[in-house]
Amino acid sequence: MKNDLMLLTLLYAVAFTAFIGAINSRGPARVALSYFLAILTLCAAVFHTSQFLAGGDLMHADDAVVVAPPPQPVKPPEPVAPPPPDTAALNASKNEAAVSEGKNELKGVLEAARRTSRNMSSLSLSAVADISDEEYESLQNRAVGYLAEARRAKDKLTAASSKVPPQLKDTQEQLAKGLESLVAAAYNAERFFKSENDTEEKQHSAAFRRGLQEANASFKKVGTALGSDDAGD
């Protein structure tokens, strides 16, 4: 740009000098030639001036700051909905948990019933005639205690019924049957010591043994159904 300005200044100075020379010229030929050169020099100066101005406009146009459009807001990705829960798997898991809890409840009742049954098996009612009064009273007290234990086991099963799922209802009923037999056996053992004659003693003793056998048979089936190691015999 500096060189262009110097060139324009020089051209205008030459043109001005040419006009001065034309004014001071003598003779038609010199005057005509001087004016011709002065006008030519002036035209050249005007032409370069227009080029200079045009070039300055282009330069300013190039230097102009191009304002970029504002960035478009980025749309956040649509949230991905979680997959629907596997209803079948959830139901299966709930059923499995319910069965497991129900088995634990029934196993607890079964263990209490087996313990009472094993204790009752040690009662030797047929040998009461040959024992002392003290031993007789001890057996009688044991029979009363076993009856209370059998009834508690039965009540325990009743309390656990709400936690037993339908899949274990047959096992629950089998256990209830065994407990009924166990309570009946314990009751007959307790009544044995209140018998008024030998006939009643024999009846209660036979009912005691029969009830105990039926209870153990039921407990064995329940143990197999629940996967218990103890056969219940």
User: Using one digit for the tens of pLDDT, what is the confidence trace for 13-33?
Assistant: 766 676 676 677 666 766 676
Work out the pLDDT band at 130, boundaries 50, 70, 90: confident
Comparison of pLDDT for 126 and 172, the residue scoring more: 172
User: Is 170 or 124 the better-scoring residue by pLDDT?
Assistant: 170
pLDDT digits (tens, 9 = 90+) for 34-88: 667 767 777 776 776 777 676 654 445 444 455 566 677 777 777 777 777 778 7
Q: What is the mean pLDDT of the chain?
A: 82
Q: In the structure encoding, which two tokens stand for residue 79, read together? A: 């949230």
pLDDT at 8: 62
Please report which confidence band the pLDDT of residue 89 belongs to, taking 50, 70 and 90 as the band edges: confident
Q: Say what the pLDDT of residue 61 is.
A: 46
Cα distance between residue 182 and residue 117, in whole Å: 7
Q: Higher model confidence: residue 6 or residue 183?
A: 183
H or E stretch at 181: helix 169-192
Who wins on pLDDT, 57 or 175? 175
Q: From the CB of residue 188, how many other CB atoms can be counted at a distance below 10 Å?
A: 22
What is the spatial distance between Cα 32 and Cα 22, in angstroms, rounded to a whole number? 8
pTM, two decimal places:
0.60
| Tokens matching residue 37 | 């050169």
- Taking residues 103-122, report their average pLDDT: 94
**Spatial distance between the Cα atoms of 178 and 19, rounded to a whole number of angstroms:** 143
Rounded Cα distance, 136 and 150, in Å: 21
